[in-house]
Structure 1
Protein backbone atom coordinates (compact mmCIF):
# COMPACT_ATOMS: atom_id res chain seq x y z
CA UNK A 1 0.00 0.00 0.00
CA UNK A 2 1.39 3.38 -1.03
CA UNK A 3 0.65 6.73 0.52
CA UNK A 4 0.91 9.95 -1.44
CA UNK A 5 1.74 13.25 0.27
CA UNK A 6 1.12 16.70 -1.12
CA UNK A 7 4.31 18.69 -1.74
CA UNK A 8 3.91 22.46 -2.25
CA UNK A 9 4.71 23.59 -5.77
CA UNK A 10 7.55 25.89 -4.65
CA UNK A 11 9.29 22.98 -2.93
CA UNK A 12 8.78 20.77 -5.97
CA UNK A 13 10.51 23.42 -8.14
CA UNK A 14 13.44 23.67 -5.75
CA UNK A 15 13.77 19.90 -5.61
CA UNK A 16 13.68 19.64 -9.38
CA UNK A 17 16.40 22.28 -9.70
CA UNK A 18 18.60 20.48 -7.18
CA UNK A 19 18.06 17.22 -9.03
CA UNK A 20 19.13 18.83 -12.33
CA UNK A 21 22.26 20.32 -10.77
CA UNK A 22 23.12 17.03 -9.10
CA UNK A 23 22.86 15.24 -12.41
CA UNK A 24 25.08 17.80 -14.12
CA UNK A 25 27.61 18.26 -11.36
CA UNK A 26 30.08 15.79 -12.82
CA UNK A 27 30.09 17.49 -16.20
CA UNK A 28 32.93 19.86 -17.08
CA UNK A 29 32.40 23.46 -18.12
CA UNK A 30 31.06 23.81 -21.66
CA UNK A 31 32.95 23.34 -24.85
CA UNK A 32 34.18 26.89 -25.53
CA UNK A 33 37.91 26.49 -26.04
CA UNK A 34 39.64 28.60 -23.42
CA UNK A 35 43.02 30.35 -23.46
CA UNK A 36 45.87 29.03 -21.37
CA UNK A 37 45.72 30.31 -17.82
CA UNK A 38 48.56 32.48 -16.53
CA UNK A 39 47.53 34.46 -13.48
CA UNK A 40 50.08 37.29 -13.67
CA UNK A 41 49.82 40.96 -14.67
CA UNK A 42 48.87 40.94 -18.34
CA UNK A 43 47.74 37.31 -18.13
CA UNK A 44 44.45 35.41 -17.95
CA UNK A 45 42.86 33.80 -14.89
CA UNK A 46 40.27 31.04 -15.25
CA UNK A 47 38.07 31.21 -12.17
CA UNK A 48 35.66 28.36 -11.36
CA UNK A 49 32.30 29.78 -10.25
CA UNK A 50 30.50 26.50 -9.52
CA UNK A 51 27.18 25.10 -10.76
CA UNK A 52 24.02 27.12 -11.36
CA UNK A 53 21.02 26.83 -13.65
CA UNK A 54 21.85 30.14 -15.36
CA UNK A 55 25.20 31.78 -16.00
CA UNK A 56 26.15 34.16 -13.19
CA UNK A 57 27.31 37.69 -13.93
CA UNK A 58 30.87 38.65 -13.01
CA UNK A 59 32.73 41.95 -12.99
CA UNK A 60 36.18 43.27 -12.13
CA UNK A 61 36.38 46.89 -10.96
CA UNK A 62 32.90 47.43 -12.36
CA UNK A 63 33.76 46.06 -15.84
CA UNK A 64 31.83 42.97 -17.07
CA UNK A 65 33.85 39.75 -17.32
CA UNK A 66 33.27 36.90 -19.78
CA UNK A 67 31.56 33.91 -18.14
CA UNK A 68 31.21 30.64 -20.02
CA UNK A 69 30.21 27.07 -19.20
CA UNK A 70 27.05 25.12 -18.51
CA UNK A 71 24.79 24.50 -15.48
CA UNK A 72 27.23 21.90 -14.18
CA UNK A 73 30.02 24.48 -13.87
CA UNK A 74 30.70 28.07 -14.93
CA UNK A 75 34.06 29.72 -15.51
CA UNK A 76 35.01 33.40 -15.48
CA UNK A 77 37.72 34.27 -18.02
CA UNK A 78 39.44 37.24 -16.40
CA UNK A 79 41.92 39.57 -18.07
CA UNK A 80 44.44 40.79 -15.49
CA UNK A 81 45.65 44.38 -16.06
CA UNK A 82 49.31 44.73 -16.96
CA UNK A 83 49.73 47.28 -14.17
CA UNK A 84 48.11 45.06 -11.51
CA UNK A 85 50.17 44.51 -8.37
CA UNK A 86 50.97 40.95 -7.26
CA UNK A 87 48.56 39.70 -4.61
CA UNK A 88 44.86 39.36 -5.30
CA UNK A 89 42.07 40.98 -7.31
CA UNK A 90 38.43 40.82 -6.26
CA UNK A 91 35.91 39.43 -8.72
CA UNK A 92 32.29 40.28 -7.96
CA UNK A 93 29.84 37.52 -8.86
CA UNK A 94 26.06 37.61 -8.80
CA UNK A 95 23.88 34.63 -9.67
CA UNK A 96 20.22 34.72 -10.55
CA UNK A 97 18.30 35.19 -7.30
CA UNK A 98 21.52 34.93 -5.29
CA UNK A 99 23.31 37.56 -3.21
CA UNK A 100 26.50 39.22 -4.40
CA UNK A 101 29.63 37.25 -3.57
CA UNK A 102 33.28 38.17 -3.90
CA UNK A 103 35.91 35.78 -5.24
CA UNK A 104 39.60 36.48 -4.89
CA UNK A 105 41.81 36.04 -7.96
CA UNK A 106 45.44 35.39 -7.03
CA UNK A 107 47.99 37.37 -9.08
CA UNK A 108 51.56 36.09 -9.13
CA UNK A 109 54.55 38.37 -9.80
CA UNK A 110 56.18 38.47 -13.23
CA UNK A 111 59.13 40.32 -14.72
CA UNK A 112 59.03 41.21 -18.40
CA UNK A 113 62.15 41.91 -20.42
CA UNK A 114 63.27 45.34 -21.59
CA UNK A 115 63.40 46.44 -25.24
CA UNK A 116 65.28 49.52 -26.49
CA UNK A 117 64.22 51.04 -29.80
CA UNK A 118 65.25 53.96 -32.00
CA UNK A 119 62.47 55.78 -33.83
CA UNK A 120 61.96 59.22 -35.41
CA UNK A 121 62.27 61.91 -32.69
CA UNK A 122 58.80 63.25 -33.54
CA UNK A 123 57.29 59.90 -32.50
CA UNK A 124 58.64 60.31 -28.95
CA UNK A 125 58.68 64.07 -28.27
CA UNK A 126 55.32 65.04 -29.74
CA UNK A 127 54.55 68.46 -31.15
CA UNK A 128 51.50 70.31 -29.84
CA UNK A 129 49.59 69.32 -32.99
CA UNK A 130 50.52 65.64 -32.71
CA UNK A 131 49.74 65.63 -28.99
CA UNK A 132 46.27 67.00 -29.68
CA UNK A 133 45.74 64.36 -32.36
CA UNK A 134 46.86 61.61 -29.99
CA UNK A 135 44.44 62.84 -27.32
CA UNK A 136 41.53 62.72 -29.79
CA UNK A 137 42.54 59.20 -30.82
CA UNK A 138 42.87 58.13 -27.18
CA UNK A 139 39.26 59.14 -26.51
CA UNK A 140 38.10 57.35 -29.65
CA UNK A 141 40.00 54.20 -28.63
CA UNK A 142 38.38 54.30 -25.18
CA UNK A 143 34.96 54.12 -26.83
CA UNK A 144 36.03 51.16 -28.95
CA UNK A 145 37.55 49.38 -25.96
CA UNK A 146 34.25 49.70 -24.05
CA UNK A 147 32.45 47.54 -26.68
CA UNK A 148 30.44 44.70 -25.17
CA UNK A 149 28.25 42.51 -27.39
CA UNK A 150 25.99 39.83 -25.95
CA UNK A 151 27.12 37.00 -28.23
CA UNK A 152 29.54 34.39 -26.92
CA UNK A 153 32.82 34.04 -28.84
CA UNK A 154 33.08 31.03 -31.14
CA UNK A 155 36.38 30.11 -29.47
CA UNK A 156 39.14 31.61 -27.34
CA UNK A 157 41.83 29.73 -29.22
CA UNK A 158 43.01 31.92 -32.07
CA UNK A 159 45.03 31.83 -35.28
CA UNK A 160 48.29 33.74 -35.60
CA UNK A 161 47.17 36.61 -37.89
CA UNK A 162 50.29 36.57 -40.06
CA UNK A 163 53.20 34.14 -40.49
CA UNK A 164 56.56 35.39 -39.34
CA UNK A 165 59.08 35.80 -36.56
CA UNK A 166 57.94 37.32 -33.30
CA UNK A 167 59.95 40.54 -33.06
CA UNK A 168 58.38 41.90 -29.88
CA UNK A 169 56.60 40.00 -27.12
CA UNK A 170 53.83 41.17 -24.84
CA UNK A 171 54.83 43.05 -21.70
CA UNK A 172 58.23 44.28 -22.87
CA UNK A 173 59.31 47.35 -20.92
CA UNK A 174 60.02 49.60 -23.89
CA UNK A 175 62.51 52.44 -24.07
CA UNK A 176 62.20 54.69 -27.15
CA UNK A 177 65.23 56.89 -27.87
CA UNK A 178 66.41 56.31 -24.28
CA UNK A 179 63.04 57.43 -22.88
CA UNK A 180 60.90 54.86 -20.98
CA UNK A 181 57.36 54.45 -22.25
CA UNK A 182 54.39 52.18 -21.48
CA UNK A 183 54.99 48.39 -21.63
CA UNK A 184 54.21 46.64 -24.89
CA UNK A 185 50.53 45.69 -24.98
CA UNK A 186 50.60 43.16 -27.82
CA UNK A 187 52.66 40.79 -29.94
CA UNK A 188 54.82 42.06 -32.82
CA UNK A 189 55.27 39.72 -35.80
CA UNK A 190 57.87 40.70 -38.41
CA UNK A 191 56.83 40.13 -42.03
CA UNK A 192 57.41 41.83 -45.40
CA UNK A 193 55.18 44.75 -46.38
CA UNK A 194 52.10 43.47 -48.20
CA UNK A 195 51.93 40.10 -46.42
CA UNK A 196 48.22 39.27 -45.88
CA UNK A 197 46.86 39.74 -42.34
CA UNK A 198 43.87 37.62 -41.31
CA UNK A 199 41.30 37.64 -38.51
CA UNK A 200 42.56 35.64 -35.52
CA UNK A 201 38.98 34.46 -34.83
CA UNK A 202 35.47 35.06 -36.13
CA UNK A 203 34.22 38.54 -35.33
CA UNK A 204 32.72 41.84 -36.43
CA UNK A 205 34.76 44.86 -37.52
CA UNK A 206 34.00 47.68 -35.08
CA UNK A 207 36.64 50.28 -36.03
CA UNK A 208 39.22 51.10 -38.66
CA UNK A 209 41.45 54.14 -38.98
CA UNK A 210 44.85 55.75 -39.20
CA UNK A 211 46.28 56.39 -35.71
CA UNK A 212 49.37 58.41 -34.81
CA UNK A 213 51.18 55.61 -32.95
CA UNK A 214 49.37 52.51 -34.28
CA UNK A 215 49.17 53.54 -37.94
CA UNK A 216 46.46 51.87 -40.03
CA UNK A 217 44.44 49.85 -37.53
CA UNK A 218 41.54 47.39 -37.46
CA UNK A 219 39.53 46.38 -34.37
CA UNK A 220 37.42 43.19 -34.22
CA UNK A 221 34.71 42.31 -31.69
CA UNK A 222 34.52 38.58 -30.95
CA UNK A 223 31.78 38.84 -28.31
CA UNK A 224 31.40 39.31 -24.54
CA UNK A 225 34.21 41.82 -24.26
CA UNK A 226 36.76 39.85 -26.30
CA UNK A 227 38.38 42.22 -28.82
CA UNK A 228 41.44 42.05 -31.06
CA UNK A 229 43.46 44.84 -32.68
CA UNK A 230 45.74 44.80 -35.76
CA UNK A 231 48.13 47.74 -36.28
CA UNK A 232 50.71 49.29 -38.67
CA UNK A 233 48.89 47.94 -41.74
CA UNK A 234 49.84 49.05 -45.25
CA UNK A 235 46.28 48.37 -46.42
CA UNK A 236 42.87 47.87 -44.80
CA UNK A 237 40.49 45.60 -46.71
CA UNK A 238 37.46 45.72 -44.37
CA UNK A 239 35.08 48.31 -42.99
CA UNK A 240 33.05 48.67 -39.77
CA UNK A 241 30.10 46.31 -39.69
CA UNK A 242 31.76 43.54 -41.71
CA UNK A 243 31.28 40.04 -40.25
CA UNK A 244 34.43 37.96 -40.68
CA UNK A 245 35.20 34.28 -40.35
CA UNK A 246 38.39 33.17 -38.66
CA UNK A 247 41.19 33.41 -41.23
CA UNK A 248 39.45 36.03 -43.40
CA UNK A 249 41.75 38.71 -44.78
CA UNK A 250 41.54 42.10 -43.07
CA UNK A 251 44.54 43.88 -44.61
CA UNK A 252 48.29 43.69 -45.19
CA UNK A 253 51.46 44.14 -43.15
CA UNK A 254 52.97 47.61 -43.27
CA UNK A 255 55.12 50.14 -41.44
CA UNK A 256 52.62 52.90 -40.63
CA UNK A 257 52.62 54.71 -37.28
CA UNK A 258 55.53 54.44 -34.82
CA UNK A 259 57.65 51.57 -36.12
CA UNK A 260 61.23 50.55 -36.83
CA UNK A 261 60.25 48.37 -39.79
CA UNK A 262 57.35 46.44 -41.34
CA UNK A 263 55.51 44.21 -38.90
CA UNK A 264 52.09 43.47 -37.45
CA UNK A 265 51.23 44.54 -33.92
CA UNK A 266 48.46 42.22 -32.64
CA UNK A 267 46.59 42.78 -29.38
CA UNK A 268 43.88 40.78 -27.60
CA UNK A 269 41.58 42.28 -24.97
CA UNK A 270 39.39 40.83 -22.20
CA UNK A 271 37.19 43.00 -19.94
CA UNK A 272 38.81 46.19 -21.39
CA UNK A 273 42.27 44.85 -20.51
CA UNK A 274 45.08 44.08 -22.95
CA UNK A 275 46.38 40.56 -22.26
CA UNK A 276 49.10 38.36 -23.72
CA UNK A 277 47.99 37.14 -27.20
CA UNK A 278 50.35 34.16 -26.90
CA UNK A 279 47.92 32.60 -24.39
CA UNK A 280 45.26 32.42 -27.13
CA UNK A 281 47.26 30.80 -29.94
CA UNK A 282 45.53 27.59 -30.98
CA UNK A 283 48.67 25.58 -31.73
CA UNK A 284 50.44 26.49 -28.49
CA UNK A 285 53.37 28.03 -30.36
CA UNK A 286 53.15 31.23 -28.38
CA UNK A 287 53.22 29.77 -24.89
CA UNK A 288 55.27 31.98 -22.56
Structure 2
Protein backbone atom coordinates (compact mmCIF):
# COMPACT_ATOMS: atom_id res chain seq x y z
CA UNK A 1 0.00 0.00 0.00
CA UNK A 2 2.84 2.35 0.88
CA UNK A 3 4.49 1.72 -2.51
CA UNK A 4 1.20 2.45 -4.30
CA UNK A 5 0.85 5.77 -2.47
CA UNK A 6 4.44 6.67 -3.29
CA UNK A 7 3.90 5.84 -6.97
CA UNK A 8 0.74 7.98 -7.04
CA UNK A 9 2.59 10.94 -5.53
CA UNK A 10 5.37 10.60 -8.08
CA UNK A 11 2.87 10.56 -10.93
CA UNK A 12 1.16 13.68 -9.60
CA UNK A 13 4.55 15.42 -9.40
CA UNK A 14 5.56 14.60 -12.98
CA UNK A 15 3.70 17.42 -14.82
CA UNK A 16 5.32 20.08 -12.65
CA UNK A 17 8.74 18.50 -13.07
CA UNK A 18 8.19 18.16 -16.84
CA UNK A 19 7.75 21.91 -17.16
CA UNK A 20 11.01 23.56 -18.09
CA UNK A 21 12.44 26.75 -16.62
CA UNK A 22 11.23 28.96 -19.49
CA UNK A 23 7.65 27.68 -19.15
CA UNK A 24 7.65 28.30 -15.40
CA UNK A 25 9.11 31.78 -15.89
CA UNK A 26 6.98 33.01 -18.79
CA UNK A 27 3.63 31.22 -18.75
CA UNK A 28 1.34 34.02 -17.56
CA UNK A 29 -1.69 33.74 -19.88
CA UNK A 30 -3.56 36.98 -19.16
CA UNK A 31 -4.24 40.08 -21.30
CA UNK A 32 -0.82 41.69 -21.72
CA UNK A 33 0.84 38.45 -20.66
CA UNK A 34 2.39 35.37 -22.27
CA UNK A 35 1.12 31.87 -23.01
CA UNK A 36 3.66 29.03 -23.34
CA UNK A 37 2.29 26.09 -25.31
CA UNK A 38 3.76 22.60 -25.73
CA UNK A 39 4.28 21.72 -29.40
CA UNK A 40 5.77 18.25 -28.97
CA UNK A 41 9.21 16.83 -29.69
CA UNK A 42 9.33 16.68 -33.50
CA UNK A 43 12.62 17.02 -35.35
CA UNK A 44 11.86 20.41 -36.92
CA UNK A 45 10.54 23.57 -35.31
CA UNK A 46 6.80 23.95 -35.96
CA UNK A 47 5.61 27.08 -37.76
CA UNK A 48 3.21 28.89 -35.44
CA UNK A 49 0.92 31.88 -35.95
CA UNK A 50 -1.39 33.75 -33.59
CA UNK A 51 -3.88 36.30 -34.86
CA UNK A 52 -2.19 35.96 -38.24
CA UNK A 53 1.32 36.80 -36.96
CA UNK A 54 4.38 34.55 -36.57
CA UNK A 55 5.22 33.34 -33.06
CA UNK A 56 8.48 32.70 -31.23
CA UNK A 57 9.27 28.96 -31.08
CA UNK A 58 12.18 27.45 -29.18
CA UNK A 59 13.27 24.02 -27.95
CA UNK A 60 13.05 23.92 -24.16
CA UNK A 61 15.64 21.90 -22.23
CA UNK A 62 16.62 20.22 -25.52
CA UNK A 63 13.46 18.08 -25.33
CA UNK A 64 10.34 19.69 -26.75
CA UNK A 65 9.29 22.63 -28.85
CA UNK A 66 7.32 25.38 -27.17
CA UNK A 67 5.48 28.40 -28.56
CA UNK A 68 5.88 31.63 -26.60
CA UNK A 69 2.83 33.71 -27.45
CA UNK A 70 2.38 37.39 -26.64
CA UNK A 71 -1.23 38.21 -25.70
CA UNK A 72 -2.44 41.76 -26.49
CA UNK A 73 -3.97 43.83 -23.69
CA UNK A 74 -7.14 44.05 -25.80
CA UNK A 75 -7.79 40.27 -25.66
CA UNK A 76 -10.75 39.37 -23.45
CA UNK A 77 -10.44 36.47 -21.00
CA UNK A 78 -11.53 33.17 -22.53
CA UNK A 79 -10.47 30.72 -25.23
CA UNK A 80 -7.78 31.67 -27.76
CA UNK A 81 -6.19 29.69 -30.56
CA UNK A 82 -2.85 29.35 -32.33
CA UNK A 83 -2.12 27.59 -35.61
CA UNK A 84 0.86 25.19 -35.45
CA UNK A 85 1.80 23.63 -38.79
CA UNK A 86 -1.82 24.02 -39.87
CA UNK A 87 -3.45 22.48 -36.79
CA UNK A 88 -5.32 24.48 -34.18
CA UNK A 89 -4.24 24.49 -30.55
CA UNK A 90 -6.45 26.18 -27.98
CA UNK A 91 -5.37 27.90 -24.78
CA UNK A 92 -7.23 29.86 -22.14
CA UNK A 93 -6.61 33.49 -21.17
CA UNK A 94 -7.40 34.41 -17.58
CA UNK A 95 -8.40 37.78 -16.16
CA UNK A 96 -6.08 40.42 -14.76
CA UNK A 97 -7.00 43.74 -13.16
CA UNK A 98 -4.97 46.83 -14.08
CA UNK A 99 -4.96 49.95 -11.93
CA UNK A 100 -5.48 53.56 -13.02
CA UNK A 101 -2.84 56.28 -13.22
CA UNK A 102 -3.67 60.00 -13.35
CA UNK A 103 -1.02 62.37 -14.70
CA UNK A 104 -1.05 66.16 -14.90
CA UNK A 105 0.83 67.73 -17.81
CA UNK A 106 1.48 71.46 -18.14
CA UNK A 107 1.99 71.17 -21.89
CA UNK A 108 -1.54 70.85 -23.31
CA UNK A 109 -0.08 69.89 -26.71
CA UNK A 110 0.95 66.56 -25.16
CA UNK A 111 -2.69 65.87 -24.27
CA UNK A 112 -4.56 67.28 -27.30
CA UNK A 113 -1.98 67.86 -30.06
CA UNK A 114 -2.50 70.37 -32.87
CA UNK A 115 -3.40 69.14 -36.40
CA UNK A 116 0.23 69.58 -37.46
CA UNK A 117 1.49 67.49 -34.54
CA UNK A 118 -1.23 64.89 -35.16
CA UNK A 119 0.20 64.39 -38.66
CA UNK A 120 3.66 63.98 -37.15
CA UNK A 121 2.34 61.50 -34.56
CA UNK A 122 0.58 59.46 -37.26
CA UNK A 123 3.78 59.29 -39.33
CA UNK A 124 5.87 58.30 -36.29
CA UNK A 125 3.33 55.68 -35.21
CA UNK A 126 3.51 53.99 -38.62
CA UNK A 127 7.32 53.89 -38.42
CA UNK A 128 7.33 52.36 -34.95
CA UNK A 129 4.51 49.91 -35.74
CA UNK A 130 6.58 48.58 -38.65
CA UNK A 131 9.50 47.99 -36.27
CA UNK A 132 7.30 46.02 -33.87
CA UNK A 133 6.13 43.79 -36.74
CA UNK A 134 9.65 42.66 -37.68
CA UNK A 135 10.33 38.94 -37.30
CA UNK A 136 13.91 37.78 -37.74
CA UNK A 137 14.96 34.09 -37.71
CA UNK A 138 17.60 34.52 -34.96
CA UNK A 139 17.02 32.81 -31.61
CA UNK A 140 16.96 35.12 -28.57
CA UNK A 141 20.20 34.82 -26.61
CA UNK A 142 18.29 34.62 -23.33
CA UNK A 143 14.65 34.79 -22.20
CA UNK A 144 15.32 35.52 -18.55
CA UNK A 145 16.14 39.11 -19.39
CA UNK A 146 18.38 41.52 -17.49
CA UNK A 147 16.90 44.75 -16.17
CA UNK A 148 18.05 47.47 -18.58
CA UNK A 149 18.86 49.78 -15.65
CA UNK A 150 19.64 49.10 -12.00
CA UNK A 151 16.80 50.88 -10.25
CA UNK A 152 13.33 50.44 -8.74
CA UNK A 153 10.22 49.90 -10.83
CA UNK A 154 7.81 52.83 -10.83
CA UNK A 155 4.78 52.79 -13.16
CA UNK A 156 3.86 49.15 -13.92
CA UNK A 157 2.63 47.74 -17.21
CA UNK A 158 -1.05 47.99 -18.17
CA UNK A 159 -2.10 51.03 -16.15
CA UNK A 160 -5.19 52.80 -17.48
CA UNK A 161 -3.80 56.28 -17.99
CA UNK A 162 -5.55 59.61 -17.67
CA UNK A 163 -3.71 62.75 -18.78
CA UNK A 164 -5.26 65.92 -17.33
CA UNK A 165 -8.40 63.88 -16.68
CA UNK A 166 -8.66 62.46 -20.23
CA UNK A 167 -8.21 58.72 -20.78
CA UNK A 168 -5.54 57.66 -23.25
CA UNK A 169 -3.92 54.35 -24.25
CA UNK A 170 -2.92 52.01 -21.39
CA UNK A 171 0.69 52.04 -20.23
CA UNK A 172 2.35 49.62 -22.64
CA UNK A 173 5.67 49.19 -20.85
CA UNK A 174 7.52 49.27 -17.57
CA UNK A 175 9.01 52.40 -16.01
CA UNK A 176 12.17 52.53 -13.91
CA UNK A 177 12.72 55.43 -11.51
CA UNK A 178 16.36 56.29 -12.19
CA UNK A 179 18.23 59.56 -12.64
CA UNK A 180 19.04 61.35 -15.87
CA UNK A 181 22.22 60.04 -17.48
CA UNK A 182 21.91 56.50 -16.10
CA UNK A 183 23.35 54.04 -18.70
CA UNK A 184 20.77 51.78 -20.37
CA UNK A 185 21.94 48.24 -21.15
CA UNK A 186 20.57 45.69 -23.62
CA UNK A 187 18.62 43.03 -21.63
CA UNK A 188 19.60 40.44 -24.26
CA UNK A 189 21.71 40.41 -27.39
CA UNK A 190 20.08 42.00 -30.41
CA UNK A 191 20.21 44.21 -33.47
CA UNK A 192 19.27 47.89 -33.47
CA UNK A 193 16.40 48.22 -35.96
CA UNK A 194 15.12 51.76 -35.38
CA UNK A 195 16.25 55.01 -33.76
CA UNK A 196 14.10 58.12 -33.62
CA UNK A 197 13.19 61.29 -31.77
CA UNK A 198 9.41 61.14 -31.45
CA UNK A 199 6.65 63.45 -30.25
CA UNK A 200 5.48 61.24 -27.39
CA UNK A 201 8.45 58.89 -26.86
CA UNK A 202 11.31 61.34 -27.29
CA UNK A 203 14.69 59.80 -28.12
CA UNK A 204 13.97 56.12 -28.76
CA UNK A 205 15.82 52.89 -29.59
CA UNK A 206 14.29 49.63 -30.89
CA UNK A 207 16.28 46.38 -30.51
CA UNK A 208 15.35 43.09 -32.21
CA UNK A 209 16.27 40.13 -29.96
CA UNK A 210 14.99 37.54 -32.44
CA UNK A 211 11.75 35.89 -33.63
CA UNK A 212 9.50 38.84 -32.88
CA UNK A 213 10.91 39.65 -29.43
CA UNK A 214 11.47 43.41 -29.65
CA UNK A 215 12.59 45.89 -26.98
CA UNK A 216 11.78 49.60 -27.18
CA UNK A 217 13.50 52.13 -24.89
CA UNK A 218 12.28 55.72 -24.84
CA UNK A 219 12.57 59.19 -23.22
CA UNK A 220 16.37 58.90 -23.56
CA UNK A 221 18.65 61.90 -23.11
CA UNK A 222 21.29 60.42 -25.44
CA UNK A 223 21.61 57.48 -27.85
CA UNK A 224 24.98 55.72 -28.20
CA UNK A 225 24.14 53.24 -30.99
CA UNK A 226 23.10 53.42 -34.63
CA UNK A 227 20.77 51.37 -36.85
CA UNK A 228 22.04 47.85 -37.72
CA UNK A 229 24.44 47.74 -34.74
CA UNK A 230 24.73 44.27 -33.22
CA UNK A 231 24.59 44.54 -29.43
CA UNK A 232 25.83 41.89 -27.03
CA UNK A 233 23.87 41.37 -23.85
CA UNK A 234 24.68 44.19 -21.44
CA UNK A 235 25.88 46.66 -24.10
CA UNK A 236 25.10 50.31 -23.34
CA UNK A 237 22.67 51.76 -25.91
CA UNK A 238 21.96 55.17 -24.41
CA UNK A 239 21.24 57.21 -21.29
CA UNK A 240 18.08 57.87 -19.29
CA UNK A 241 16.36 61.21 -19.87
CA UNK A 242 13.00 62.97 -19.97
CA UNK A 243 12.48 63.65 -23.68
CA UNK A 244 9.02 63.41 -25.26
CA UNK A 245 5.93 63.19 -23.02
CA UNK A 246 7.56 62.70 -19.63
CA UNK A 247 7.09 64.43 -16.29
CA UNK A 248 10.68 63.70 -15.23
CA UNK A 249 13.71 61.47 -15.92
CA UNK A 250 12.93 57.76 -16.09
CA UNK A 251 13.33 54.80 -18.42
CA UNK A 252 10.27 53.44 -20.22
CA UNK A 253 10.87 49.92 -21.58
CA UNK A 254 8.40 48.21 -23.92
CA UNK A 255 8.65 44.53 -24.76
CA UNK A 256 6.79 43.10 -27.74
CA UNK A 257 6.10 39.50 -28.81
CA UNK A 258 4.40 38.72 -32.15
CA UNK A 259 3.52 42.43 -32.33
CA UNK A 260 1.76 42.37 -28.93
CA UNK A 261 3.03 44.59 -26.15
CA UNK A 262 3.50 42.39 -23.07
CA UNK A 263 4.51 42.95 -19.46
CA UNK A 264 8.35 43.12 -19.26
CA UNK A 265 8.10 42.20 -15.55
CA UNK A 266 7.36 38.61 -16.68
CA UNK A 267 10.78 38.36 -18.35
CA UNK A 268 12.75 39.69 -15.38
CA UNK A 269 10.99 37.44 -12.84
CA UNK A 270 9.02 40.27 -11.20
CA UNK A 271 5.48 39.58 -12.47
CA UNK A 272 2.68 40.24 -9.98
CA UNK A 273 -0.78 38.81 -10.79
TM-score calculated relative to the size of structure 1: 0.85
The CA distance in 2 between the partners of 1:124 and 1:216, in whole Å, is 19
Superposition pairs for residues 215-234 of structure 1, below 5 Å?
215-234=202-221
User: Which residue of the partner structure matches residue 264 of structure 2?
Assistant: 277
User: Which residue of the partner structure matches residue 157 of structure 2?
Assistant: 170
User: Which residue of the partner structure matches residue 11 of structure 1?
Assistant: none
User: Which residue among 198, 217, 226 is the counterpart of 2:185?
Assistant: 198
User: Which residue among 45, 51, 68 is the counterpart of 2:58?
Assistant: 68
Seen in structure 2, the aligned counterparts of structure 1 residues 109 and 33 have a Cα distance that, compared at 3 Å, is closer
User: Which residue of the partner structure matches residue 92 of structure 2?
Assistant: 106
The CA distance in 2 between the partners of 1:102 and 1:173, in whole Å, is 33
The CA distance in 1 between the partners of 2:207 and 2:25, in whole Å, is 18
Superposition pairs for residues 90-105 of structure 1, below 5 Å?
90-94=81-85, 100-105=86-91
Seen in structure 2, the aligned counterparts of structure 1 residues 43 and 31 have a Cα distance that, compared at 3 Å, is closer
The CA distance in 2 between the partners of 1:32 and 1:243, in whole Å, is 25
| 3-state secondary structure, aligned to 1:116 | strand
Deviation digits for residues 176-204 of structure 1 (CA, Å, limit 9, x no counterpart): 10000111000011111111111111101
1:88 aligns with 2:74: no
The CA distance in 2 between the partners of 1:30 and 1:175, in whole Å, is 40
The CA distance in 1 between the partners of 2:53 and 2:36, in whole Å, is 16
Q: Runs of 5+ in structure 2 lacking a partner? A: 1-16
Is the 8 Å Cα contact of residues 31 and 69 (structure 1) preserved in structure 2?
no
Is the 8 Å Cα contact of residues 170 and 185 (structure 1) preserved in structure 2?
yes
The CA distance in 1 between the partners of 2:25 and 2:140, in whole Å, is 12
User: Which residue of the partner structure matches residue 125 of structure 2?
Assistant: 138
The CA distance in 2 between the partners of 1:237 and 1:177, in whole Å, is 34
The CA distance in 2 between the partners of 1:108 and 1:129, in whole Å, is 41
Name whichever of 142-151 and 272-281 sits farther off. 142-151
User: Which residue of the partner structure matches residue 271 of structure 2?
Assistant: 287
Superposition pairs for residues 143-162 of structure 1, below 5 Å?
143-162=130-149
User: Which residue of the partner structure matches residue 166 of structure 2?
Assistant: 179
The CA distance in 2 between the partners of 1:123 and 1:149, in whole Å, is 34
User: Which residue among 32, 55, 77 is the counterpart of 2:68?
Assistant: 77
The CA distance in 1 between the partners of 2:215 and 2:70, in whole Å, is 13
Is the 8 Å Cα contact of residues 29 and 69 (structure 1) preserved in structure 2?
no
Is the 8 Å Cα contact of residues 23 and 36 (structure 2) preserved in structure 1?
no
| 3-state secondary structure, aligned to 2:55 | strand
TM-score calculated relative to the size of structure 2: 0.89
Over the residues paired in the alignment, what is the CA RMSD in angstroms?
1.8
The CA distance in 1 between the partners of 2:20 and 2:271, in whole Å, is 23
The CA distance in 2 between the partners of 1:183 and 1:191, in whole Å, is 22
Seen in structure 2, the aligned counterparts of structure 1 residues 35 and 216 have a Cα distance that, compared at 3 Å, is farther
Q: Runs of 5+ in structure 1 lacking a partner? A: 1-26, 95-99
User: Which residue of the partner structure matches residue 47 of structure 2?
Assistant: 57
Is the 8 Å Cα contact of residues 59 and 65 (structure 2) preserved in structure 1?
yes
